[in-house]
Structure 1
Amino acid sequence: MNERRILLVAFFTALIIVGSFIRIPLPPVPITLQTLFVLLAGYMGGPQVALMSVGIYLFLGAIGLPVFSGGGGFALLFGPTGGYLLALLPAALIAGFGGFKRIWRMVLFGILATIVIYLGGVSWLKHLLSISLSQAIAVGMLPFLVGDGIKLGLAIALARRFSERVRSLLA
């Protein structure tokens, strides 16, 4: 991995951390901008940069640095947001295959990445809170649909605007 790619990983890791602090607190899961920056890392950096950025973010949070929206520590990976956090890894990988040249690919892979995040988060909420699937969907997915659609559109717009510059760094 070259210096430029390492710089991009650090940049997207920092953006994901910042995104976790931009939040609207809703119980049991807050609305944050993490997913926006995970999608952006995938679209602009590709699967390797996105996966490494999210992996470092999760590692930093797991070892206790307060980078998650609820603070830091390994225990948070087993709290209400744990399923969403862990699902960011495969979501980053999926978004990374979305590219930035064809909008339809970005939309498709962005939707798939978002579905993966919902699957991880909702299934974990169902298990953790011992609630029905419909209850888990009601608290863990429905409040986020509109916002996630907006974040997807914003990630696509930003990636299309700035990807050529970022890709030139990777060359």
Structure 2
Amino acid sequence: MNSSRSVLVTALFAALIIVGAFLRIPLPPVPITLQTLMVLLAGLLLGWKLGLASVGIYLLLGLIGLPVFTTGGGYAAFFGPTGGFLVALLPAVTITGIGADAGWKHRDKNPWIFTASLILSSIMGTIVIYAIGVPWLKTSLGLSWQAALAGGMYPFLIGDTVKAIVAVMVALRLRERIMGILQRQTEIGDID
């Protein structure tokens, strides 16, 4: 892979995650953001290593105080009641990326299994976000399990399922282009 292009694409996906955190779709009972969609796309399109780097950049920018999280930025936002959902983005993109990397390697053998592996990877990434975020929310606010699930998971299930499927649909369209950018040989005049 071309290292300068890898850095550029990684930074671009970190920026997309930031933008996604602030793009809201006003659906009842609560609006959803496109942050998790961008995280899933990072894993599906970039693989686990570059996807993890993109999410890591996003989280570091928020941790040092830049207002990139929906709750602001800094230590308090990162480790607050919804901080578990942020921390969970790291294993989520990793799991999504590992599954996607395996799926892309076998896409020509069986298209149905390939597509199913991408969907499963995306859904597993989403489950990881809930598995870390909901207990963190429960513990931080001293909620019952029912209250934590009602506030941190149930309202988002349909939207997150749709985002997981949309992420796969977008990845199927864009993966070859992204890989072409990352693997293109440096041309005369390019700086590495």
Q: Where on the TM-score scale, by shorter chain, does this alignment land: which range?
A: over 0.9
How far apart are 1:98 and its partner, in Å? 2.7
After superposition, what is the alpha-carbon deviation per residue over 1:74-104, rounded to whole angstroms, capped at 9, x for unaligned? 1111212200000000001011123254211
Which residue identity lines up with residue 130 of structure 2 in the other structure? Y
Judge which range, 124-133 or 30-39, deviates more: 30-39
Q: For 1:112, which of 112, 124, 136 is the aligned residue?
A: 124
Give the 3-state SS of the residue equivalent to 1:70 in structure 2. Answer: coil
- The list of structure 1 runs, each at least 4 consecutive aligned residues, that deviate by more than 3 angstroms after superposition, is none
Instruction: Find the counterpart in structure 2 of residue 135 from structure 1.
Output: 147
> Counterpart of 1:12 in structure 2: which amino acid?
F
Cα offset, 1:24, TM superposition:
5.7
Summarize the Cα distance change of 1:25–1:133 in structure 2 as closer, same or farther, 3 Å threshold. farther
Q: Secondary structure at the match of 1:9?
A: helix
Partner of 2:12: 11
Task: Point out where structure 1 has 5 or more consecutive residues left out of the alignment.
Answer: none
C-alpha spacing 1:18/1:86, structure 2 compared with 1 (3 Å): same
Aligned to 2:63: 62
User: Which whole-Å CA distance do the structure 2 matches of 1:124 and 1:25 have between them?
Assistant: 25
**Percent of aligned positions that are identical:** 55
**Separation in structure 1 between the aligned mates of residue 172 and residue 79 of structure 2, nearest angstrom:** 35
Q: Secondary structure at the match of 2:13?
A: helix
State the partner residue of 1:34: 35
Distance 1:75 1:30 in 2: 23
Give unpaired runs (5+ residues) of structure 2.
108-113, 184-192
Structure 1 letter corresponding to 2:156: F
**How many residue pairs align between the two structures?**
169
Q: 5 Å matches for 1:42-53?
A: 42-53=43-54
More deviation, 101-110/11-20:
101-110
